[in-house]
Amino acid sequence: MPRLKNLDQTTLLRLYRIDRAIRGGEYPNCTTLAKQFDPPLSARTIARDIETLKKQFQAEIFYDPKRNGYYYAAGREPLLQELTFADGELLALLLIERLFTRADPQTRNIFTRVLNKIKMLTPDKTILSAENIGDLLSVDFKIPESENFGVYHTLLEALRRKVSTHILYADPQRDSPARFEFDPYHLRYNKADWYVAGYCHSTNKIRALAVANIKRIKLSGVNFRAAADFDPAVFFGRGWSYSRKEISAVKLRFAPQLAQWLGEKIWHPAQKTSTLPNGSLLLELPVEENSGVIDWILSFGGKVEVLEPRELREAVQREALAILKNTH
């Protein structure tokens, strides 16, 4: 394989398609090849690309004046190998394609362009289409509200360039939104929500923010250097809200009908589970902040009981009573 350091991705994809079209044996010429692109290219561009294939790839491409088209010398292997995928990789791509059909137009268009580039390099262009699987595959994935996608794009840009941000954040524990400078280190999808971890200049510590609560964000233009000891696996493995506020281990008892399903779940790397004589499940795990775990506990309704700590048990009781009061 020749060195491709002087060829950009767009040119390489174009060369691949030209190589495959000529190899197809239909004797295409510069004009017919140019029309295969969207938008159509000029015949002059195709002619330059064919020269590139001849010079950089030593391609034995010949022109047949009778057929008015190009052909390859017999017996030559493809110059650019087709991209193939394992079954698991194809499944991942199909899942991603399904997910992004529910995204906002800007994000969906970005993914579509990426997927189209992948399709150019696959033997079968239709293999990466969600339409092929029809109703056989579906996803239950929380897509953020469309108006919040600008926040995600800005966060990704800040992460890529390591640029600090100015954030307006609706903290559930405050009456009014807070403004502060934030250096984003890592974006993570966890338990049906997106979180961004980074250094908060207001609190002078690393914390995690729920992306859904970021109301406005803009780049500050100031570059930052992430803390050398920051490890996202360790940071996000500490609990629900990742705020570094230590509390006692949480102990929960779940009804028997949930025992098997919950027993197979990993909610925290340090969790402990045991099955009680009546078939119910005892789950113990460390949680740093009550606020995030309360909603999770309430999602199980009457099929869960908080055993410890007492503060969490009382907080769940207050929240449940408030729900009852608001339903009357």
Give the torsion through C-alpha atoms of 232, 236, 237, 242, to 10 deg.
140
Number of compact structural domains in the chain: 4
My answer on whether 322 and 259 are in the same domain is yes
Domain co-membership, 254 together with 306: yes
Instruction: For residues 24 and 50, state if they share a domain.
Output: yes
Are residues 153 and 124 both part of a single domain? no
Residue 206 belongs to a domain with what CATH number? 2.30.30
Where residue 28 sits, what CATH number does that domain have?
A: 1.10.10
> Is residue 78 in some structural domain?
no
Q: Is residue 82 part of a domain?
A: no
User: Is residue 52 situated within a structural domain?
Assistant: yes
Same domain? 257 vs 227: no
- Establish if 58 belongs to a structural domain: yes
- Which of 191, 211, 235 is at the close of a domain? 235
Q: Are residues 227 and 150 in the same domain?
A: yes
Q: What does the block give as tokens for 188?
A: 């993570």
pTM equals 0.48
| 46 lies in the same domain as 95 | no
Q: Is residue 231 part of a domain?
A: yes
- What is the rounded distance in angstroms from the CA atom of residue 59 to the CA atom of residue 61? 6
- Local confidence pLDDT in tens for the 328 residues of the chain: 444 556 776 787 788 889 888 888 889 999 999 998 888 899 999 999 999 988 888 888 999 999 999 998 776 666 655 555 555 565 666 666 666 666 667 666 776 777 666 665 555 544 444 444 444 555 555 555 545 677 888 888 899 899 999 999 886 556 788 899 999 999 887 655 678 889 999 989 888 888 888 989 999 989 999 998 888 877 776 555 444 444 568 899 999 888 877 776 767 767 888 889 999 989 888 776 544 677 778 878 888 899 988 888 888 888 888 887 776 6
Which residues fall within 8 angstroms of residue 196, CB to CB, at 6 or more apart? Answer: 155, 184, 185, 186, 187, 188, 208, 209, 211, 214
- Report yes or no on 240 lying in a domain: no
Domain assignment present for 191 = yes
- Of the candidates 49, 72, 95, which is a domain's last residue? 72
Length of the chain in residues, anyone? Answer: 328
Domain boundary (207, 235, 263) is at 235
Q: What Cα–Cα distance (Å) separates residue 243 from each residue in 239, 297, 320?
A: 8, 19, 24
Residues 34 and 56 occupy one common structural domain:
yes
Chain centroid, CA 270 distance in Å: 26
The DSSP symbol for 130 reads G
Amino acid at 77: E
Domain region containing 192: 146-235
Residue 287 falls inside a structural domain: yes
Q: Say yes or no: 230 and 288 in one domain.
A: no
Q: Which residues of 300-312 are buried (b: 16+ CB within 10 A; e: fewer)?
A: eeeebebeebeeb
In the three-class reduction of DSSP (H, G, I as helix; E, B as strand; rest coil), residue 61 is classed as strand
Same domain, residue pair 154 and 106: no
Nearest to residue 281, comparing CAs of 259, 302, 252?
Answer: 259
**Do 167 and 182 touch, CB atoms closer than 8 A?**
yes
132 shares its domain with 150: no
User: 159 and 223, same structural domain?
Assistant: yes
